[in-house]
Amino acid sequence: MPLATVDTSVALPATLSARSHPRKLFVMLAFGALTYRAEHLRLDADALRHAAASEGGELAGLAALDHMIEQAERRRSALAELLPYDAPDDWVAAGFSALFDEYGRKLIERGHRLDPSVRDEDVPRLRRQFEAICVCGPPPFDPEGVPTLTRDPQDDPIVYGALLAGSDFLISDDRDIVPSGEEHEYEHEEHRLRAVTFGHFANTCFAGGDFAWSEVDGAWLRLAWEPHDDRGA
């Protein structure tokens, strides 16, 4: 299960522009998230049923859990019908509050450049859409107490959070995170993280660089979101 953290420099065009290439990445990460959630929710449901059968208890909330499984599987199936037959479903994203907070700030500062219609009141909804593709995150940490990792102190919590989450990749077009070329390596304790530009990631890392990005339509992302989170892209 390859794990990626998506920096705001990539998340902003992914959420604001249905025709952008980063949006295609979000489609694939949403596909992986739906696969992951359906599988793990089903494991939870099976564990509850086993516990009830062995202990003779009643299953409280199982109907709600089954409904969540059905929703995840339905959305996954809708995406699977549209995606190329060899589309990988095991890529998932890690997220955390420092990343989502930075996304919200950059959305207010720069979002109108990508989508002139975006308003401040859209920020919570767009943030939820970003959060929806993330299936895990690091243990809680204080963004003010992270070590120096980049040239920009505001980027240090993003890199540190990705390291703590155990991400394999940090996808970023920020030159303070990827300071030279297309790839930069970070290390924390025994974990190593590859920070890569989106173009480098798409061309060489995702599915070995052989995936047909041209066959993915960014508008499909709305199939993975709750109806009230859909901006109609």
Residues 83-98 pLDDT 10s = 998 899 999 999 999 9
In a domain, 50, yes or no: no
Q: Name every residue whose Cβ is closer than 8 Å to that of residue 177 and which is 6 or more positions away in sequence.
A: 7, 9, 150, 155, 158, 159, 170, 184, 195
User: Smallest Cα–Cα separation from 163: which of 179, 180, 147?
Assistant: 147
58 confidence band (pLDDT: 50, 70, 90): low
187 confidence band (pLDDT: 50, 70, 90): very high
* 8 A C-beta contact, residue 8 and residue 103: yes
Which of 90-99, 106-115, 169-178 has the least mean pLDDT?
A: 106-115
Q: Is the pLDDT of residue 190 over 90?
A: no
In a domain, 22, yes or no: yes
Q: Is the pLDDT of residue 229 over 50?
A: no
In a domain, 21, yes or no: yes
In a domain, 139, yes or no: yes
Q: Name every residue whose Cβ is closer than 8 Å to that of residue 114 and which is 6 or more positions away in sequence.
A: 12, 13, 16, 17
State the helix-helix crossing angle for 62-82 and 21-55, rounded to 10 degrees: 150
Specify the pTM: 0.89
Which of 37-51, 131-145, 157-171 has the least mean pLDDT?
A: 37-51
For the chain, the distance separating the N- and C-terminal CA atoms, rounded to the nearest angstrom, is 29
Q: Which domain covers residue 142, as residue numbers?
A: 3-36+86-224
Kindly report the average pLDDT of the chain as a whole number.
89
In a domain, 65, yes or no: no
In a domain, 72, yes or no: no
Q: What is the CA radius of gyration of the chain?
A: 18
In a domain, 61, yes or no: no
In a domain, 231, yes or no: no
- The domain tally of the chain equals 1
Cα distance between residue 150 and residue 179, in whole Å:
8
81 confidence band (pLDDT: 50, 70, 90): very high
Higher pLDDT, 165 or 190: 165
Cα distance between residue 6 and residue 93, in whole Å:
7
Dihedral of CA atoms 109, 123, 76, 98 in degrees, nearest 10, equals 70
DSSP code of 208?
G
